[in-house]
Structure 1
Amino acid sequence: MALKLCSTGLVVEENSSYSFASLLDAILRGIGQVFLQNNSYAGLLFLIGIFYNSILFGFAVLVGTIVSTMTAISFGVNKDQIRAGLFGFNGALVGIALLYFLQPESLTWAYVIFASACSTVAMASAIRLFDVWKMPTLTSPFVLTTLCFLLACARFGRLHSTQILPTAGLPMVITVVDGVVNFSTVVEGLFKGIAQVFFQENAVTGGLFTLGLFISSRRAGVMAILGSLIGLMVAWGLGASEPAIRSGAFGFNSALTAIALGSTLLAFNTASVIYTMIAAVATVIASAALSAALQPLGMPALTLPFVVTVWLFFLGSSLFNKLRN
């Protein structure tokens, strides 16, 4: 089979079998699909950005994506869905999340492999369930799988935490405003907010992610920047601490919301852009609320604020004629 490339990656004949090149393309598209991009060039840049910040996390993403993709192939998932990376991105996020919150020991890697395989089952179930309402699954299989496997660690003494998980307890009623936000905070927070989609607190990594988004879709790139900036500015205006703003903690869910609604799910016009920006602001509130709600369990909100907000705004858009194609 002659190797042919197009604007999104490898061109594969409809009835052809899997080759190394086609599998590599599917894996890169799976990494790209974390940002809702069916583009292997973008996926490659995302992977390079992760390896730039952390070799450990780079391998975690690769292992998670490969395992979840191969699990889907083994059980006979439709080839078009596999080649579009739809059964890779949840495994990518599960792999990096578990290695972010757990010590990288041999047992942890086995745990990651099993969890990544389970994310494929969760994705298949979500597709079947949400197809009834014509709803996108987004990263809900990742959230469900990761929270389940992290909560289970409370009963497994041989899986050791990295101490990054939130401290279990009732959320504070009042948060003290800490630090002074300046231009450096805004610039770093903007790109780190995009990088934090993959748990990477690195502005250069965020810049590589942004470049990958612009290669795939200029609209997605613009929306990612706007979403991250909105998340940062709203958090600043409401009194979030400077270190949290600089780290990008309030930007990544808003960036994903802006990409999903502004460049994928809705028609592109003035009304939809305004609607998307409102959703990005709402995502910041949802992020704070869900983080507080999960704190008694000592669990992170992950991308749950993005998922919940997009579901609500996408369902609501069915009654707004200016937002649909």
Structure 2
Amino acid sequence: MAIRLSTTGLVADNGDFTHSLLNFLDCVLRGVGQVMLQGNSYAGLLFLVGIFCNSPLFGLGALLGTGASTATAMMLGTDRGQVRAGLFGFNGGLVAIALLYFLEPDALTWGCVIFAAACSTIMMAGIASLMGNWKLPALTAPFVLTSLCFFLATARFGRIESTDLLPTAGLPKAVTVEGVVTASTVVDGLFNGIAQVFFQGNVITGILFVAGLLISSRAACIAALAGSLTGLLVAWGMGAAEPAIRAGAFGYNSVLVAIALGGQFFVPGRASAAYAVFATIATALVFAAVSASLEPLGLPALTLPFVLVTWLFLLASPAFACLQRKTT
């Protein structure tokens, strides 16, 4: 059997079992990479290494969730090109990590992880079909909706226990400026903002994610760093608590928006760069608003701000002659 290395992943050249297994693994790795809009299995591999470096539990969850959602898409006869690109894997991977992060990782939760990841494939197909009418990508909306559904369901299922990381339901309260932002805060917050895309609060993990982005796309790497820094600075300027800034809470949605609008969906140029910067600034504010609005339900914002801001800015783009959407 011949195995070739392409610029984005593995390619096996015959039709035996090993070929199928390698191609499935390649799809899974690309799915992990697509969390940051990178259909590159090398980037996905480094993302996985970064997750395992911080938490073997979450690393295993990312593999299982991405594998389950990818396998579901294959069994249902989804377009092979989209499956190969990892487009039916990344939401399942995020769902798995979210459930393991916010729910106690017992046997029942692991069963929910597999089922929820499979459901995200159905959700992905449905949202992609709906949003296709407006030429909008599904992004991580399937992950957000699937995860929030499971978190809400915990209120009626006594055997599904949440961790203390799930927000406590209650009316939002105004916060005061807490802590002093130092150079250490900025450095930690910069890389944690990238790591938090996968719910990982670890600077080394963030650095590995940056390396994965750099392998896939230098422009995406720069955009991610700029997005994380922008979210951090907006949060600092607005008086967010220092621990939240250091943890990267205000950065990860801005990271995704910067990658999406800074080169993924628009032809690169000064106008698109300025548009992306404007969007990343808005994202930090939207994150605060979404977090406060979901607090009475005891739900986290997840990547909902990224989805809302990206959809809005893509919908608005035809009105601006200086912006040019990429053709698929």
Q: Name the TM tier (shorter chain).
A: over 0.9
| Mapping 1:1-325, distance limit 5 Å | 2-11=2-11, 19-172=20-173, 174-325=174-325
SS in 1 for 2:5: strand
**Per-residue deviation, 1:2:** 2.2
Amino acid paired to 1:129: L
In 2, the alpha carbon distance for the partners of 1:33 and 1:223 equals 15
Structure 2: give runs of 5+ residues left out of the alignment.
none
Amino acid paired to 1:232: L
SS in 2 for 1:47: helix
CA separation of 1:105/1:158 partners in 2, compared to 1, >3 Å: closer, same or farther?
A: same
**Per-residue deviation, 1:3:** 1.3
Aligned-residue CA RMSD (Å): 1.4
Amino acid paired to 2:11: V
**Per-residue deviation, 1:132:** 1.1
Q: Is the 8 A contact 2:213 2:220 kept in 1?
A: yes
**Per-residue deviation, 1:4:** 1.4
**Per-residue deviation, 1:10:** 2.0
Listed one character per residue, the Cα deviations across residues 188-233 of structure 1 (whole Å, up to 9, x for unaligned) are 0000000000000000000000010010000000000000000000
**Per-residue deviation, 1:14:** 12
In 2, the alpha carbon distance for the partners of 1:81 and 1:12 equals 18
Q: Is the 8 A contact 2:12 2:22 kept in 1?
A: no
- Normalising by structure 2, what TM-score? 0.96
Listed one character per residue, the Cα deviations across residues 84-133 of structure 1 (whole Å, up to 9, x for unaligned) are 00110000000000000001100110011111110000001011111111
Structure 1: give runs of 5+ residues left out of the alignment.
none
In 2, the alpha carbon distance for the partners of 1:125 and 1:59 equals 27
In 1, the alpha carbon distance for the partners of 2:143 and 2:205 equals 22
In 2, the alpha carbon distance for the partners of 1:196 and 1:14 equals 39
Q: Is the 8 A contact 2:94 2:143 kept in 1?
A: yes
CA separation of 1:276/1:16 partners in 2, compared to 1, >3 Å: closer, same or farther?
A: farther
SS in 2 for 1:136: coil
Amino acid paired to 1:179: G
Deviates more, 1:61-70 or 1:11-20: 11-20
SS in 1 for 2:155: helix
CA separation of 1:86/1:13 partners in 2, compared to 1, >3 Å: closer, same or farther?
A: farther
Runs of 4+ in 1 over 4 A off after TM superposition: 12-18
In 1, the alpha carbon distance for the partners of 2:197 and 2:26 equals 21
SS in 2 for 1:155: coil
**Per-residue deviation, 1:69:** 0.5
Amino acid paired to 1:314: L
Amino acid paired to 2:248: G
Identity within the alignment, %: 60
SS in 2 for 1:19: helix
Listed one character per residue, the Cα deviations across residues 128-172 of structure 1 (whole Å, up to 9, x for unaligned) are 111111111110000010000110011001011111111111111
In 1, the alpha carbon distance for the partners of 2:205 and 2:139 equals 23
